[in-house]
Structure 1
Amino acid sequence: MIYDNHGRPINYLRLSVTDRCNLRCFYCMPEDGINYLPKKELLTYEEMFRLVKIMSDLGVSKIRITGGEPFVRRELMSFLWKISELGGVEQIHITTNGVLTAPLVPELKQIGIKSVNLSLDTLDRENFRKITRRDELPKVLDCLEQLLKHNIAVKINAVVMEGKNIDDLIPLAELSKNAPIDVRFIEEMPFNGEGNHYPTLFWTYRRILDLLKSHYPDMYKIADSPNSTSYNYQIPHYQGTIGVIAAFTRTFCGTCNRIRVTAQGILKTCLYDDGVLDIKKLMREEADDQAVTHALLHAFKHRAKDGYEAEQKRQSHAPVTESMSTIGG
C-alpha cells in the first residue's frame, strides 16, 4: 500500500483510454465538441498496460476505465482481458454512456468486470436528446437491461442541472425500486470546456438531498463504504440505493484514495489540478520502470490536501474549464 503526504492510501486508478465521445453532453463539452487529440498523442495500449502493471506493483488494486467514452476506442476488450490477468488488479470497473455497450455485456461478464457506472441524466427521450445532443436513449436503456440480466453491479450517474433535468430526478430514483441499481446524483462541475454555467451552484448536494427527502420522507442514511464519494441512503423496500455526490462542494477529499491518468498520459492526483506528471513523456524518453515508479511516488508525496488547494495551485493559473472528456470521467 502507498500513502500520500496526508496519510491517505492510494489504491484506485481511474484510467482514461480516450478523449473521444459519441455524445455531446451539456455538462461535459460545448455543443460543437472539443478538439480531439491526434492518436499519437494518446497513450498506446502497451503504455497503458505497463502503467497499470507499475501501479499494481505499488499497491493499486482497483482500476476504473473511463473516457471520453471508452468503447469508442478500438481493441478495448482485448486490453480489458489483458489487465484482468494481472495478479495485483483485484477489481476492474468501467464508466460508460452505454450507447455502444449493450452487445459487449456478456463478454464484460466473462472478463470479470466488477461494476459499471452508467451515465444517465433523464429517462425522457426528448430531454435526453437535449442534454446529450444525440437521440440515443433506447441504446442506453438496452445497456442497463443487459447489465441487470448478466448480474453486473450497476450505478447510474446523473448530473443535476438547473433548468435541464430537475423533474427527472424522482423518475431516476425510482429505478432503484425494483432492481439492485444504485442511483447517484452528482453536483454539476465546471469541467465542460466552458467553465461554470451558473454564477453560483444552486443544486448543491444539500439541496438535492432536500428534494429527495421531500418525496421520500422515510428515506434513511446507510453506512458509506470506505473512501466513498457519495452520501448514501435507502428508501424502505427498495432494492437499490440512492446517493448524492458533492463533486463541486468537495466534502469527501479527506478520504480520497483515487488518482487519475488522462488519455494523454498526464497524472492528476486531484480532479481539480491541471496535471502533475507527464507519464507518457517519461515512457517515450525510455525511462525504465524504476524511474517511472520514483516519479509517481514523488508526485504522491506532494499531493494537494483537497480540491480547493489543487485548484489554487494549478500550474496554468487558469480557472477550471477543461472538458471532462479530456480528463477522464
Structure 2
Amino acid sequence: MEAMTTSAVHTPRGPVTRKDVARYAGVSTAVVSYVVNGGPKKVAPATEAKVQDAIRILGYRPNAAARALKLGSSETIGLIIPDNTNPFFSLLAHAVEDAAAELGYALLLTNSDGNLTKERRNIRNLASRQVDGVVLASVLFEPDLAALESAEIPAVLLNHGGKSPGFNSVGVDLAAGARMAVDHLIGHGHTNIALAMGTNTGHDYDLREEGWLQALAAAGLPEGPIVRGPFSREGGYAVGRRLLASADRPTAVFASSDMQAIGILRAIHEAGLNVPGDIALTSFDGAAEAEYSWPALTTVEQPVRVMAEAAVGALLGARRGEPAAHRTFPTELRVRQSCGCPAQASSATP
C-alpha cells in the first residue's frame, strides 16, 4: 500500500493509459489487461483488488476502439425501430437492450420514423460503425440490407410477419392473433365487425387482415367495413370518425394496433357513444396503454421479451455461422372491458 500512496502524488495529467494503471498498481500491463477483460488468465484476488483501486483512483477508461480491434468485435448491436415514442416499440427496444446486455453487448438505438429513406440511412450508418449485428423492425416486408451484407454484418428482422428467405426473422402469427380477437367479438354476438387496418410503407398485405377475414368466414358472417390509416393514435382517431359516419355503423371493431384503438376510443367518446355498449373494441400488440385506457382494451399481446431474446440470440448465432430461420411465437388474448367482458383483477395485483 505504501507504493500506492506514493504513486497517488504523481497521477498522470493527460488521458490515463493502461501503463499508468500498471505503474500505479505495481503490476504489468498484461495483468491490467486480464483484469479489464476478465481474462484470459486468472489474477489473484489481492492483485485484482489493487488494479481495480488504481482504475478507480486514476479514472481509467478502456479504449473501446482498441478493444474492438483486438477482439474483432465492437460488442455493440444496432436496433432500428419505426418510432420509439410508440409504447409498443419502446417496450420492444427496452427488451432488446436487456437481452443484449445479458450477453455483454451495448445497444445503439435508431428510429426510422416509418420512413424508408431514413431506415436505409440508419442501416448505412450502423454498417459504417461496424456494429456486430443489426436488429431491424423494418417498414418493408423485404428490406434493403445490401449495406450490411457488403460489410458482412448479420441482421435479424424483428416484429416480422412471415418468412423472408435467407434472413433471420422473429415475429408472431399475425393471422392467428387477429382471428382470436375477432372470434372473441363474435362470441359476444356481434355480426357487423369492422377492421381498422394500419397502412405500411411498402403497401404489403398484412396478415392481421387475413385473420379478420378467416374469423368472419368461419362464422358465416359477411365482411364488415375496412378503413385504413396509419398505425398511430391520430390514424386511429381518423379511422374511428370515418367508421362512425358510415351508413351501416359497425357494432364492433378490431384495430390492428393498440395505438389505433386509443384513437378510436376518443372518436367514439366524442360522438357520445359507449364502449362496449354501443361499439365493442379489440386491438393488437399488448402495449401498456391498452391496460390503462378507459375502458381498458382487450388486446392480442405479443411476447415482447421472448421475441427480443430470440432476435439477439439469432444475431449472435448468425455470427457463429448458424443457418437463417424464421421464429414464430404465439400471442395471447388479454381480456379486459372494451370487448364487453366484465372488469377483471389488474395484472399488477399479486
TM > 0.5? no
More helix by share: 2
Q: Normalized against structure 1, the TM-score is what?
A: 0.28
TM-score by length of 2: 0.27
- Structure with larger RCO (C-alpha < 8 A, sep 6+): 1
